[in-house]
């Protein structure tokens, strides 16, 4: 498993990085591996509000569906439309394949750094 | 094999209708179809042979063993088909005058009486077209009950984590928030977990008993008492009724409403996915909330969940079945369903782990987890290898509380010989997997197809045929 | 008789193998005071022959009408013999849902073909494997059109009363609002529709032809609905689709309907067949099973249940529908019917039904006191005034003719290709005599 040290992670397996004032959110290597082949992703629309700890969309594999939980509260300013046609990008490189960008962030959950997250994942298996 | 469209030949047809003996009426231009639909153009023999070829690629319960847990795949008697095909049932218009449909009314009344007796309920509707549709109806009874009392604070339905997916989906369709409660280690309701979530916001509980791991919940009276004490109602999911008919009744367990799957417990054929029929029964105090038809019954103030009176011809089959079995045959069916399950479980024991090593009801769960650790083979691999023996695999990965679950429900209509053979097959797969896991992993080897690429089917869905340019 | 095959000796042997002495012990988890102490109050079991006698006697208490001039949601079309025999085959009949693709290719392919045929007659891109009936198909369509911002459903007052009532019930379930657009002249009142559309409206459900048999100006409806940003759900008659413009061409976003006319018996109301089709854009919002084409591990064409993550067994409380069992065998029946009829046969059934209905209407309205209630173009149903309704219908009934359905607006008549000119002449003669 690969957990880049420059990212922060949630216990629901999303990663977060700040690009200036904008939060960039994706799912971790652990999450994509656990899901297996991702076949579809349900995304919010630009302009939708998301809330820390609340689902903002979901990812589907053949036999499972998992909520995407936002680590921040704010407003969606971009979605990765590539994923709508090519959800396999999440399996191929989950750190390149960001899912949404959020602006106007007013609240952020307590997140783990890469080392803490790796330890957390070890207990999840 | 070819698709029917690939067998079509332009200009070929069946002469079904012949000439029209009155003048055609012109359809105004603005409503006219612009081009013909690409339906197959075939002779009758082409059609017959195409579907016969397809039919050879189908496994039905009347053709071989089908231990699909929670689906009650028992033999479907042919006489039930003959009766449902009688002109006096099949040829009746649902809106024909009352004095011309006395036989249909008799079917509905008699079946209602019998099913009330079997379930311990006071009233019955046959409008629901399937089990999930019955759940929807049942939970709407609960909703109307609370609404009528002005008890609008009841916004939650409690569902155990071992429940069928239809239960939480139904509760959501009825506008309820779903509260999942964890099961106790024996798969039954955890009373403390239940107590913890009960309250003035509880609308009701949805429960299967015997539950989805095939165990009768011995605390059932306490469970329904607790829910009632909190002001909620109890809904019985009749998916597992085949274990207990004539032995114990949901109505006596404290349930207020129930659905029964006529296509499971009452032997009507499932037709490759339907039609089913989901009779819904209730106690007298909920009767006023049962659905009706706006057109057929002139009932504009009642709920209605589909047109007319439901899947009537399915009901005819079920009534035929109950008539055949009668007061002795009904409990005999359940008792032998339970006996067959226990017998098969004990014959398989010693190979794959039993998820719960105790007397089961009409079905039981194997846990392939430790075998997977040892061989790398999953419940899916085991299931697929059974296909090579001409047996339909058990239900896989359900209930969710057993991670590598295989759930077997042999039903009462299987012989001891079939059960012994099944145990031999399981043993053979178990042993083969230990020495040659690759072989099992590559199964099925002699089925209609090899394992299909399901990822491709969902990533790039092709859901209809399109003509090649 | 219980269809239990094991002999008494085998049962004893099996009980011993399980380690119990009798059946009672198998139910040791059931609290003793809950067990039934006396037999069920049911008649004694019967042999097959006795059962056939009992059930046949019940069937004979119904009247089978040789001539049927009543529709209103259940239609007496001719069912070719092969359409009855194929779905009765033991394998098709007694299979469960095709969960195991490797031993269910026959069912899966038949559904894939059915989906294609529904797409062809509706002009849509994708169809599901069926839902319960036309009414629930409409209710499911209403649900698939709703999103977070648009929650209200409009339905035409000219739709079938059972469809309206069913959609209302489904909306009651989720707590969403349904508003009825009044009917005018047997069709949707366009002015009222325009008035009622707004930015909270998710969809408008119309019926084509309407409950009263009238063709409605669907293109105008589509324009109004789309202008308001809502979706147009068209509930349509599948036989009419043999000659009628497709819902897609009219501008509908979702096509649904009652599939019973496609080879299914009237059967006192069921089992019937709800068909649903839409455009690629809304594919993942369709409820229920959908069969998809793929390849197996050797690259051969194969069929599987696709897009399953939409469904209740995976999505649980987040699924948009709880549907599990559908009407697969009815869908198979419809596919066989459409294959036997072909494009020309389906069109001919439509044209002949329309022809007979117009012949009947012309003859009836030539009788003094009988006139058409609506003057727009109609398919195979129409409403007339009829003096002395009860008396006329009773006289028809005595002659083995199921006359039109008495409704508030008059009598709703229907004719299909199955009735001959002679049948129609005889019916008209009786009406004439009673009213003379």
- CB < 8 Å to A61, chain C: 309
Using CA atoms, how far apart are residues B410 and B72, in angstroms rounded to an integer?
A: 8
Q: Does C183 lie in the same domain as C86? A: yes
Same domain, B219 and B303: yes
Distance from CA of residue C63 to its chain's centroid?
A: 23
Work out the widest C-alpha separation in chain C, in whole angstroms. 83
Nearest to A94 by CA among A47, A28, A38, A40: A28
Domain end (from C273, C301, C336): C336
Check CB contact of B421 with chain A, cutoff 8 Å: no
Q: Are residues C318 and A61, on separate chains, in Cβ contact within 8 Å? A: no
Which residue on chain A is closest to C314 by alpha carbon? A64
Q: Do A60 and B458 touch (CB under 8 A)?
A: yes
Instruction: Quote the pLDDT of residue B202.
Output: 98
A47 and A75 Cβ atoms separated by less than 8 Å: yes
Q: Show which of B323, B353, B378 is a domain's final residue.
A: B323
| Cβ-nearest to A87 among B397, B454, B459 | B459
Six-digit token pair at C426?
């005889």
Chain A partners within 8 Å of C284 (Cβ):
40
Per the structure, the complete domain to which residue B374 belongs is given by 336-455
A64 part of contact set with chain C, CB < 8 Å: yes
Same domain, C287 and C372: no
C244 with C369, same domain?
Answer: no
Is B308 an 8 Å CB contact of chain A? no
- Per residue of chain B (469 residues), what is the pLDDT tens digit? 999 999 999 999 999 999 999 999 999 999 999 999 999 999 999 999 999 999 999 999 998 999 999 999 999 999 999 999 999 999 999 999 999 999 999 999 999 999 999 999 999 999 999 999 999 999 999 999 999 999 999 999 999 998 999 999 999 999 999 999 999 988 899 999 999 999 999 999 999 999 989 999 999 999 999 999 999 999 999 999 999 999 999 999 999 999 999 999 999 999 999 999 999 999 999 999 999 999 999 988 999 999 999 999 999 999 999 999 999 999 999 999 999 999 999 999 999 999 999 999 999 999 999 999 999 999 999 999 999 999 999 999 988 889 899 999 999 999 999 999 999 999 999 999 999 999 999 999 999 999 999 999 999 999 999 998 6
Query: Subunits that touch chain C (at least 3 Cβ pairs < 8 angstroms)?
Result: A, B
Statement to judge: residues B27 and B130 lie in one domain: no
Q: Which residue of A has its CA nearest to B459?
A: A39
- Do both B308 and B448 map to the same domain? no
> Which of C336, C361, C392 lies at the terminal end of a domain, its last residue?
C336
How confident is the model at residue C1, as a pLDDT?
Answer: 76
CATH of residue C413's domain is 3.90.1150.10
Closest Cα in chain A to B461: A39
In B239-319 the beta strands, taken as DSSP E runs, fall at: 257-261, 278-282
Please check whether residue B331 lies inside any domain of the structure.
Answer: no
Q: Which of residues 85-114 of A touch C (CB under 8 A)?
A: none
Q: Same domain for C140 and C289?
A: yes
CA pair distance B353, B369, nearest whole angstrom: 8
CA–CA dist B463, C305 (Å, integer)? 10
In a domain? residue B176: yes
Q: Does A40 touch chain C (CB under 8 A)?
A: yes
For the cut 70, the answer to whether the pLDDT of residue C426 exceeds it is yes
Same domain, B102 and B31: no
What is the four-CA torsion angle of B290, B293, B298, B300, rounded to 10 degrees? 70
DSSP secondary structure string for all residues of B349-360: TTSSEESS-S--
Interface check for A88 against chain B (CB to CB < 8 A): the answer is yes
Choosing from C315, C336, C357, the residue where a domain stops is C336
Dig out the tokens for C42 from the structure. 């049911």
Give the separation between CA B448 and CA C104, rounded to whole angstroms. Answer: 8
Residue C295 contacts residue B453 (beta carbons within 8 Å): yes
Test A88 with B459 for CB contact under 8 angstroms.
yes
In a domain, C4, yes or no: no
Q: Rounded to an integer, what distance in angstroms lies between the CA atom of residue A38 and that of residue B458?
A: 9
Counted across chains A and C, CB pairs separated by less than 8 A come out at 18
Residues B317 and B345 in one domain: no
Angle, CA of C31, C34 and C36, to the nearest 5°: 125
Residue for token pair 């055949």: B324
Place of tokens 């707004």: C198
Sequence-ordered strand ranges (E) for B91-155 = 123-125
- Identify the CA nearest to B454 among candidates C103, C310, A37, C286: A37
**Domain hosting residue C256, numbered range:** 81-336
For each of the domains in chain A, give its residue range(s) and CATH number, in order of start: 8-108 (2.40.50.100)
Q: Are C290 and C126 in contact (CB under 8 A)?
A: yes
What residues of chain C lie within 8 A of the CB of B335, using their CB?
A: 23, 26
The distance of Cα C291 from the centroid of its chain, to the nearest Å, equals 20
Residues from chain B that touch C173, judged by Cβ atoms under 8 A, are: 136, 140, 143, 173-175
Q: Write out the two tokens for A54.
A: 């609340």
Given a cut of 90, whether residue C363 has pLDDT beyond it is yes
B210 and B272 assigned to the same domain: yes
For residue B190, count other CB atoms closer than 10 A to its CB: 17
Mutate to test the interface with B, among C9, C63, C94, C414 (most CBs of B within 10 A): C94
Q: How many CB atoms lie within 10 A of CB A118?
A: 16
Residue B69 maps to a domain: no
Residues B144 and B293 grouped into a single domain: yes
**Is residue B70 domain-resident?**
no
Among candidate residues B323, B351, B376, the one where a domain is terminated:
B323
Interchain pair B454, A62: CB under 8 A: yes
Domain co-membership, C96 together with C227: yes
Residue C364 lies in a domain: yes
Tally the domains of chain B: 3
- Residue C76: partners with Cβ closer than 8 Å, 6 or more residues away: B93, C68, C266, C416, C418
Query: Is the pTM above the cut of 0.90?
Result: yes
Whether residue C314 has pLDDT greater than 90? no
Instruction: Specify whether C273 is located in the same domain as C164.
Output: yes
Q: Which residues on C lie below 8 Å from A40 (Cβ)?
A: 284, 307, 309
Distance CA B63, CA B45 (A): 25
For residues B165 and C320, give the distance between their C-alpha atoms in angstroms, rounded to a whole number.
12
Torsion sign, CA atoms C256, C262, C267, C272: negative
Q: Does the distance separating the beta carbons of C80 and B306 come in below 8 Å? A: no
Q: What is the structure's pLDDT at C188?
A: 98
Q: Is residue C58 a part of any domain in this protein?
A: no
Question: How many CA within 13 A on the CB side of residue B22?
Answer: 26
Q: What is the pLDDT of residue B469?
A: 64
H or E segment at C303?
strand C301-306
Which two tokens mark B325? 């079995």
Contact A39 B459 (CB under 8 A): yes
Q: Is residue B414 part of a domain?
A: yes
Best CA proximity match to C331, nearest among C115, C136, C157 = C115
Measured torsion, CA atoms of residues C71, C74, C78, C84, in degrees rounded to the nearest 10: -170
Q: Are residues B450 and B308 in the same domain?
A: no
Q: Is the pLDDT of residue C318 over 90?
A: no
For position B400, what pLDDT does the model report? 83
Of C40, C64, C89, which is closest to B91 when you measure between CB atoms? C64
Task: Kindly state whether residues C293 and C392 are assigned to the same domain.
Answer: no
| Residue C175 forms part of a structural domain | yes
DSSP characters for C38-49? Answer: S--SSPPP--HH
Helices and strands (H and E) in chain A: how many: 4, 9
Residue C57, domain member (yes or no): no
Over the Cα atoms of chain A, what is R_g? 13
C246 and C366, same domain (yes or no) = no
In a domain, B234, yes or no: yes
Residues B16 and B153 in one domain: no
Q: What pLDDT is recorded for position A125? A: 64
Residue C16: its chain B contacts at CB < 8 A? Answer: none
Clarify whether residues C310 and C391 are in a common domain: no
User: Domain check: are B440 and B314 in the same one?
Assistant: no
Judgement on whether residues B170 and B149 belong to the same structural domain of the protein:
yes
Helix or strand run (H / E) with residue C183 = strand C183-184
Together in a domain, C163 and C74:
no
By the CB < 8 Å criterion, does A1 face chain C? Answer: no
For chain C, positions 249-268, list CB contacts with chain B under 8 A.
249, 258, 265-268
pLDDT (mean) for C161-165: 98
Percent pLDDT > 90 in chain C is 96
Q: Based on the structure, what is the number of domains in chain C?
A: 2
Residue C288, phi then psi, degrees to nearest 5: 80, -175
What is the rounded CA–CA span in Å between residue B203 and residue B147?
Answer: 10
DSSP string of B390-417, one letter each residue? T----EES-STTSTTEEEE---TTS-HH
Q: What is the pLDDT of residue C320?
A: 84
Residue B236's H or E segment, with its range, is: strand B233-237
Q: Is C21 on the interface with B (CB under 8 A)?
A: no
Residue B330 forms part of a structural domain: no
**Could you tell me which residues of chain C have a Cβ less than 8 Å from any Cβ in chain A?**
284, 307-309, 314-315, 318
Please check whether residue B468 lies inside any domain of the structure. Answer: no
For residue C15, is it within any domain?
A: no
The candidate with the shortest Cα–Cα distance to B237, out of B263, B265, B209, is: B209
Residues B108 and B249 in one domain: yes
Q: Cα dist. C387→B156, B192, C212, C384, C429 in Å?
A: 54, 69, 19, 10, 15
- Of C244, C278, C249, C248, nearest to C261 (Cα)? C244
Q: Which positions in chain B touch C47 (Cβ < 8 Å)?
A: 324
Q: Which residues contact A76 (CB under 8 A, 6 or more apart)?
A: A44, A45, A46, A47, A48, A49, A50, A56, A100, A101, A102
- Distance of alpha carbon C270 from alpha carbon C259, whole angstroms: 11
DSSP reduced 3-state for C312: helix
- CATH number of the CATH domain containing C214: 3.40.640.10
In a domain, C190, yes or no: yes
C223 part of contact set with chain B, CB < 8 Å: no
Looking at the structure, do residues C378 and C250 belong to the same domain, yes or no?
no
- Minimum Cα–Cα distance from B456: chain A residue: A39
Pure H helices in B175-311: 191-197, 220-229
């Amino acid at each position: 498993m690969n957990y880049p040290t420059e990212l922060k992670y949630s216990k629901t397996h999303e990663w977060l990085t700040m690009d200036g004032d904008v939060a960039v959110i994706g799912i971790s290597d652990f999450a994509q591996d656990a899901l297996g082949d991702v076949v579809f992703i349900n995304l919010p629309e630009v302009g939708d509000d998301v809330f820390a700890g609340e689902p903002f969309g979901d990812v589907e594999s053949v036999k499972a569906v998992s909520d995407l939980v936002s680590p921040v509260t704010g407003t969606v300013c971009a979605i990765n439309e590539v994923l709508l046609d090519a959800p396999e990008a999440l399996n191929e490189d989950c750190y390149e394949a960001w899912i949404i960008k959020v602006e106007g962030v007013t609240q952020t959950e307590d997140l783990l750094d890469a080392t803490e997250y790796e330890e957390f994942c070890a207990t999840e298996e | 094999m070819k698709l029917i469209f690939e067998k079509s030949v332009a200009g070929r047809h069946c002469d079904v209708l012949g000439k029209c003996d009155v003048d055609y009426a012109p359809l105004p231009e603005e409503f006219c179809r612009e081009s013909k639909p690409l339906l197959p153009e075939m002779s009758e023999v082409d059609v017959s042979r195409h579907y016969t070829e397809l039919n050879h690629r189908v496994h039905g319960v009347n053709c071989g063993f089908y231990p699909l847990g929670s689906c009650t795949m028992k033999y479907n008697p042919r006489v039930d088909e003959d009766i449902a095909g009688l002109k006096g049932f099949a040829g009746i218009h649902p809106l024909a005058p009352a004095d011309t449909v006395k036989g249909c009314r008799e079917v509905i009344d008699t079946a209602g009486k019998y099913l009330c007796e079997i379930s311990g309920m006071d009233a019955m509707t046959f409008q629901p077209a399937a089990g999930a549709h019955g759940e929807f109806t049942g939970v709407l009874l609960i909703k109307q009950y609370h609404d009528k009392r002005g008890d609008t604070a009841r916004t939650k339905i409690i569902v155990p984590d071992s429940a069928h997916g239809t239960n939480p989906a139904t509760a959501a369709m009825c506008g309820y928030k779903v509260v999942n409660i964890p099961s106790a280690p024996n798969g039954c309701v955890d009373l403390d977990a239940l107590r913890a979530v009960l309250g003035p916001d509880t609308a009701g509980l949805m429960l299967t008993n015997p539950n989805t791991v095939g165990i009768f919940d011995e605390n059932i009276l306490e469970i329904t008492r607790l829910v009632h004490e909190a002001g909620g109602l109890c809904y019985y999911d009749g998916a597992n009724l085949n274990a207990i008919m004539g032995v114990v009744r949901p109505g006596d367990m404290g349930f207020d409403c129930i659905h029964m799957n006529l296509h499971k417990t009452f032997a009507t054929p499932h037709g490759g996915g339907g039609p089913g029929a989901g009779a819904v029964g209730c106690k007298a105090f909920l009767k006023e909330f049962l659905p009706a038809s706006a057109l057929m019954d002139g009932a504009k103030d009642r709920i209605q969940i589909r047109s007319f009176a439901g899947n009537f011809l399915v009901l005819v089959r079920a009534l035929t079945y109950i008539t055949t079995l009668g007061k002795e045959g009904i409990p005999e069916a359940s008792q032998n369903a339970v006996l067959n399950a226990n017998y098969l479980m004990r014959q398989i024991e010693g190979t794959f782990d039993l998820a719960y090593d105790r007397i089961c009801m009409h079905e039981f769960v194997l846990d392939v987890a430790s075998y997977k650790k040892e061989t790398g083979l999953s419940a899916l691999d085991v299931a697929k290898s059974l296909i090579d023996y001409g047996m339909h695999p058990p239900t896989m990965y359900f209930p969710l509380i057993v991670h590598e679950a295989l759930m077997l429900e042999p039903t009462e209509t299987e012989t001891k010989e079939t059960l012994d053979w099944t145990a031999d097959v399981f043993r053979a797969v178990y042993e083969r997997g230990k020495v040659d896991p690759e072989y099992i992993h590559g199964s099925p080897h002699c089925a209609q197809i090899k394992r299909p690429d399901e990822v491709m089917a969902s990533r790039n869905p092709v859901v209809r045929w399109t003509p090649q340019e | 008789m219980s269809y239990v095959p094991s002999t008494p000796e085998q049962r004893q042997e099996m009980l011993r193998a399980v380690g119990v002495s009798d059946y009672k012990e198998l139910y040791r988890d059931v609290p003793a005071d809950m067990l039934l102490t006396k037999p069920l109050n049911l008649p004694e079991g019967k042999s097959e022959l006795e059962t056939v006698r009992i059930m046949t006697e019940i069937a004979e208490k119904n009247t089978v009408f040789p001539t049927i001039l009543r529709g209103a949601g259940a239609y007496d079309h001719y069912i070719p013999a092969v359409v009855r025999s194929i779905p009765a085959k033991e394998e098709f009949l007694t299979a469960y849902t095709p969960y195991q693709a490797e031993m269910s290719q026959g069912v899966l392919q038949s559904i894939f073909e059915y989906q294609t045929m529904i797409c062809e007659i509706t002009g849509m891109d994708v169809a599901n494997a069926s839902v319960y009936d036309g009414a629930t198909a409409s209710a499911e369509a209403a649900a698939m059109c709703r999103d977070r911002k648009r929650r209200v459903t409009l339905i035409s007052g000219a739709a079938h009363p059972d469809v309206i009532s069913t959609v209302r019930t489904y909306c009651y379930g989720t707590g969403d609002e349904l508003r009825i657009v009044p009917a005018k002249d047997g069709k949707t009142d366009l002015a009222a529709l325009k008035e009622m559309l707004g930015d909270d409206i998710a969809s408008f459900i119309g019926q084509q032809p309407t409950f009263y048999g009238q063709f409605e100006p669907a293109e105008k409806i589509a324009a109004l609905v789309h202008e308001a940003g809502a979706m147009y759900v068209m509930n349509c008659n599948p036989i009419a689709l043999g000659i009628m413009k497709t819902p897609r061409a009219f501008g509908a976003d979702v096509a649904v309907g009652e599939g019973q006319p496609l080879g299914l018996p009237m059967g006192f109301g069921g089992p019937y067949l709800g068909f649903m089709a839409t455009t690629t854009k809304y594919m993942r919002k369709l409820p229920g099973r959908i069969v998809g084409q793929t390849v197996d591990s050797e690259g051969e064409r194969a069929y599987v249940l696709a897009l399953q993550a939409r469904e209740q067994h995976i999505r649980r409380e987040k699924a948009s529908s709880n549907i599990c069992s559908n009407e697969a065998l009815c869908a198979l029946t419809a596919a066989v019917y459409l294959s036997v009829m072909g494009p020309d046969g389906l069109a001919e059934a439509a044209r002949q039904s329309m022809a007979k209905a117009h012949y009947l209407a012309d003859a009836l309205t030539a009788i003094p006191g009988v006139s058409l209630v609506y003057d727009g173009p109609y398919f195979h149903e129409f409403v007339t005034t009829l003096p002395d309704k009860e008396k006329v219908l009773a006289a028809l009934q005595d002659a083995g003719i199921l006359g039109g359905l008495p409704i508030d607006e008059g009598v709703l008549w229907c004719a299909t290709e199955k009735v001959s000119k002679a049948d129609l002449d005889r019916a008209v003669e009786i009406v004439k005599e009673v009213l003379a």
